[in-house]
Amino acid sequence: MVTTTPLPDRKRQSNPVLKFLGKIPWTWVITFVYLAFLLILPIIAMIVKASQEPFEKFWATATSPIALSSYEVTFVTAFAAAAINGIFGTLIAWVIVRYNFWGKRFVEAVVDLPFALPTAVAGLTLATMYSNKGFIGAYFAPFGIKIAFSRIGVFIAMTFISLPFIVRTVQPVLKELEKEIEEAAWSLGASQFQTFIQVILPPLTPSILTGVALGFSRAVGEYGSTVIIASNTPFKDLITPVLIFQRLEQYDYVGATVIGVVMLAISFASLLAINLLQAWSKRYG
């Protein structure tokens, strides 16, 4: 008996495109569709919206004095907060992993608090604590140091919300480090400081940089806590997310989109630089 291939199957076999699509796993299709609608298409829509402006107006909006000031406040302060957390977050992860003490579970829960706490509540709490009449800010007010409603307050808010990213990124790597390597270094005469710098720090560096990158990205996009603890004064402590919201309140949708595209480009460039640094540390660390 002679059998024939159904027409749809023969078309699929003869068409290379259909043949290729038939080999794509369904998990890939779901992943691509999910990422396309969640990330890719919104970014493309924002870029297309901004590109509708003439280049002269786009450039004037993106490089206006108030926009440049907000970029500087946002990215410099976020980088400073992520760098500080890179040091103290690593120290906190070290204490949690290497020591057993009473209240350890409470400390771990406190580290995760910025994940669960609404950002507006965090901002309100920080503003209450660090205002001139607050529990902490009152000690600095007599010396003329204003924490809340200043750039220092923005820095504290960014540090608060980005800390868990460094701790939770470094912690599992610390758990996997073999204690025998440190003991071997001690037996060869290395001090604890030398052992940390030459034995422990190199394998920790990629995870620290990853945590710093995640914390930096989180701090750059923070809005809820910073808008409460800052005075939002232009050329002082106004961050870019708040500036975008102010443009939207003025119904300047194109202007808000232009500043958003610039912020997106700077964020991508920063993350690319950090990822390249990570790759370098993994190769030569």
For residue range 128-179, what is the model confidence (pLDDT) as tens digits? 999 988 889 999 989 989 999 999 999 999 999 999 999 999 999 888 887 7
Tell the CATH superfamily of the 55-284 domain: MetI-like (1.10.3720.10)
Query: Are residues 127 and 135 in contact, defined by beta-carbon separation less than 8 angstroms?
Result: no
Query: Are residues 157 and 122 in contact, defined by beta-carbon separation less than 8 angstroms?
Result: yes
Output the CA torsion 72→76→77→81 (10° steps): 170
The mean predicted confidence, pLDDT, of the chain is 85
Residue 7 has pLDDT above 50, yes or no: no
Which segment, 10-19, 108-117, 175-184, 195-204, is predicted with the most confidence on average?
A: 108-117
Residue 271 has pLDDT above 60, yes or no: yes
**What b/e readout covers 219-236, taking b as 16+ CB neighbours within 10 angstroms?**
bbebbbbbbbbbebeeee
How far apart are the C-alpha atoms of 282 and 272, rounded to whole Å?
Answer: 15
Q: What is residue 282's predicted lDDT score, i.e. its pLDDT?
A: 66
- Of the listed ranges 31-35, 154-158, 185-189, 235-239, the one predicted with least confidence: 185-189
Q: What is the pTM of this model?
A: 0.83
Q: What is residue 147's predicted lDDT score, i.e. its pLDDT?
A: 92
Helix H, strand E, coil C: the string for the chain is CCCCCCHHHHHHHHCHHHHHHHCCCHHHHHHHHHHHHHHHHHHHHHHHHHHCCCHHHHHHHHCCHHHHHHHHHHHHHHHHHHHHHHHHHHHHHHHHHHCCCCCHHHHHHHHCHHHHCCHHHHHHHHHHHHCCCCCCHHHHHHHCCCCCCCHHHHHHHHHHHHHHHHHHHHHHHHHHCCHHHHHHHHHCCCCHHHHHHHHHHHHHHHHHHHHHHHHHHHHHCCCCCHHHHCCCCCCCCCCHHHHHHHHHHCCCHHHHHHHHHHHHHHHHHHHHHHHHHHHHHHHHC
Output the CA torsion 34→37→40→44 (10° steps): 170
* pLDDT mean over 223-251: 90
- More confident: 9 or 217: 217
Nearby residues of 48 by Cβ (< 8 Å), 6 or more positions away: none
CA-based angle 93:94:100, to the nearest 5? 100
- Of the listed ranges 63-77, 83-97, 130-144, 269-283, the one predicted with least confidence: 269-283
Listed residue (13, 33, 32) closest to 22, CA to CA: 13
Residue 280 has pLDDT above 50, yes or no: yes
Residue 275 has pLDDT above 90, yes or no: no
* Res. 126 pLDDT band, cuts 50 70 90: very high
* Res. 15 pLDDT band, cuts 50 70 90: low
* pLDDT mean over 242-270: 88
Residue 105 has pLDDT above 70, yes or no: yes
Q: What is residue 10's predicted lDDT score, i.e. its pLDDT?
A: 53
